[in-house]
Amino acid sequence: MRRHSVAVMGVGGVGKTTYVFRLLGLSLKPRTTLRPGIYRLYLRDKEVDFIDVPGQVATEVARNFAKAWTFYVDLMIYMYDLTDQSSLYAIAELHSALLDRGITPYRRVVLIGNKRDLAEELGLFVEGDEIANAVGAAKIYYMSALKDNVEVLYKPLEENV
């Protein structure tokens, strides 16, 4: 079985751990992540190590990632909150903080705009195209890690690892 590594990064509160827990089939409600976590999950014939890092601000997220994982990942998932423009801009900052640390961070990168349910409710939907281009993301996924069916949540993995 081939092993793959995936990391999800974004500033505090965008829904990274919620996403990981849903992929694992856990019904726990996460608290603020305090230290990096690595979770193993299985995707058909693939074994995937999934890295979830804490951090309130971009530079801290980059630092935590560097601590947890010093070599490259197959897939980097940058996540932001669709209702929070600053969480999207933080991705660009996060990205350059990683490059500054001399980490060649990934083979492939995608962007997830999370909290789609909330964005629709509030009528506030921050589109990610520009930042996706800036960081070289292959694709953008809009979803609700909290409410979508798990098949929707698996798409970024199925299509990119």
Site for ligand GTP in 142-161 (CB under 6 A): 144-146
CB 135 within 8 A of CB 7: no
CA-based end-to-end distance of the chain: 13
Q: How many CA atoms lie within 13 A of 112 on its CB side?
A: 28
Token pair 């998932």 in the structure block, residue = 77
Distances in Å between the Cα of 25 and the Cα atoms of 22, 81, 154 are 5, 22, 11
Nearer to ligand GTP by C-beta: 13 or 125? 13
CB of 79 to Mg ion, least distance (A): 10
144 interface partner picked from Mg ion, ligand GTP, none, CB below 5 to 8 A per type = ligand GTP
Q: Does 128 bind ligand GTP (CB under 6 A)?
A: no
Does residue number 16 form part of the binding site for ligand GTP (CB under 6 A)?
A: yes
Residues that bind ligand GTP in the complex, under the rule CB under 6 A: 10, 12-18, 30, 32-33, 54-55, 114-115, 117-118, 144-146
